[in-house]
Structure formats: C-alpha cells, structure tokens
Copies of this chain bind each other. A is one copy, B any other.
Amino acid sequence: MLSNKTRVEILKWLKKPEENFPPHQDIDHFDDGVCVGYIQDKAGLSQSTISTYLNSMQNADLLIPTRHGKWTYYKRNEKVINEYLERLTKEL
C-alpha cells in the first residue's frame, strides 16, 4: 500500500490540509479531510486513478471517508497510521 509514491504523498498532504489545499466552498474547515477533486488536482492523475487509490487506502484503514452532499472527504486515520509506524519501527 505504501509502496506507491502518490499514495504516500496523499497521506503527507492530508497531514496539513490548510497548507496543501485551497479552502472548501461549502464548509469552512478540514475536520473531515479533503474532497477527492482537490486531491486529484494536486496529484495530477486521472479521476478514476485517484478514486481507486483513495478507496484502496480506505480499505487498508489508512483513510476515513465522509460524505457531504455530493462530495466525499477523506481524512487520515491517525490511529492506524501510528500503529503501523510503531510496528514497523519495532520489527524492522
């Protein structure tokens, strides 16, 4: 999962949404993360590719999706990400 440059970048971007994405129009915070379109623009890959990536990261429990109207927002699952890093650091 974390063997892909773009997916890792996305995780990093979502660490500080205010610094990496423009403000959303319908909501004035990043509490639920960032919408797919913004992530797509930033990554420069096709809509389907990004959607697939985000979906796979959600399946891996690295991201948490929230639907707001027609938009889907994705945010990091800090707990799982930290657990992964800790385990890796311990075992590797």
Residues 62-84 of chain A, each 1 if its beta carbon lies under 8 Å from chain B, else 0: 00000000000000000001000
User: Given the complex of chains A and B, what is the CA–CA distance between A91 and B85 in angstroms?
Assistant: 11
Q: How far is the CA of A85 from the CA of B12 in the complex (A)?
A: 15
A92: chain B residues at CB < 8 Å are 2, 8, 11-12, 81, 85
State the majority secondary structure of interface residues on A: helix
Select which of B2, B8, B81, B88 is within 8 A of A85 by beta carbon. Answer: B88
Chain A: residues with Cβ within 8 Å of the partner, total of 11
Within 8 A of B (CB), among A22-80: none
> Could you show 13 A-B contacts with beta carbons less than 8 Å apart?
A2-B3, A2-B92, A3-B3, A8-B92, A11-B92, A12-B91, A12-B92, A81-B92, A85-B88, A85-B89, A85-B92, A88-B88, A89-B89
